[in-house]
Amino acid sequence: MYSAKVHFWLVGLGPEEAKTLMGIEPLERFTHTFMENFSMDALRADVSPAVITVVIADEAAGFAPGALREAAGAEAKLIWNTADAGTLSEAALSSLDAIWGKPLTPALLSFHFAALQRRMKLEKDKWLAETYLSHTIDPVPDLIWYKDVLGAHLMVNDAFCEVVGKTKEDIAGRGHCYIWGLTPEEYAQGEYVCMETEVEVIQQGMTCVFDEQVKAPEGMRLLKTYKTPIRDVDGRVMGTVGVARNVTKEREYQRKILEMAQTDALTGLANRRYFEDYLNGLKGVRQKIFIYFDLDSFKHINDTYGHAMGDMVLVQVSGRMKRAFSDAFLVRLGGDEFLAVFLEKISREVVEKRVQDFIEDLQDFFENTKNMEVLSTSAGIAVGDAETSVDELLRQSDFALYAAKRAGRACCRFYDSSMTEESE
Determine the longest span between alpha carbons in the chain, in angstroms. 124
What pLDDT was estimated at residue 144?
95
Total-model pTM: 0.60
Contact 365, 316 (CB under 8 A): yes
Among candidate residues 58, 50, 54, the one with its CA nearest the CA of residue 69:
54
Strand pairing report for 4-11 and 30-35: parallel
Quick one: three-class SS letters along 32-100? EEEECCCCHHHHHHHCCCCEEEEEEEEHHHCCCHHHHHHHHCCCCEEEEEECCHHHCCHHHHHHCCEEE
Query: Concatenated DSSP letters for 97-166?
Result: SEEEESS--HHHHHHHHHHHHHHHHHHHHHHHHHHHHHHHHTT-SSEEEEEETT--EEEE-HHHHHHHT-
Strand pairing report for 237-246 and 143-148: antiparallel
* Three-class DSSP category at 323: helix
Domain ranges in the chain are: 4-136, 143-251, 263-423
What pLDDT was estimated at residue 198?
84
Among candidate residues 146, 120, 121, the one with its CA nearest the CA of residue 133:
146
Handedness of CA 335, 400, 390, 385 (dihedral sign): positive
Among candidate residues 54, 200, 225, the one with its CA nearest the CA of residue 123:
54
The Cα 16–Cα 3 span in angstroms is: 29
User: 235-291 pLDDT, tens per residue?
Assistant: 999 999 999 988 777 777 677 777 788 899 899 999 999 998 888 878 778 899 999
Contact 213, 176 (CB under 8 A): no
Q: Which amino acid is at 379?
A: A
Query: 4-136 has which fold?
Result: Rossmann fold (3.40.50)
The Cα 98–Cα 7 span in angstroms is: 17
Contact 151, 158 (CB under 8 A): no
Weakly modelled stretches of the chain, pLDDT under 50: 192
The Cα 316–Cα 219 span in angstroms is: 34
The Cα 343–Cα 341 span in angstroms is: 6
Strand pairing report for 208-216 and 219-231: antiparallel
Report the CATH architecture of 263-423: 2-Layer Sandwich (3.30)
Cis peptide before 103 (omega within 30 of 0): yes
Angle ∠(55,61,63) on CA atoms, nearest 5: 70
Handedness of CA 392, 398, 399, 401 (dihedral sign): positive
DSSP 8-state assignment for residue 220: E
Pick the CATH number of 143-251 from 3.30.450.190, 3.30.450.20, 3.50.50.60, 3.30.1540.10: 3.30.450.20
Beta bridge partners of 9: 35, 55
User: 182-201 pLDDT, tens per residue?
Assistant: 776 666 665 545 677 888 99
What pLDDT was estimated at residue 189?
60
Contact 317, 295 (CB under 8 A): yes
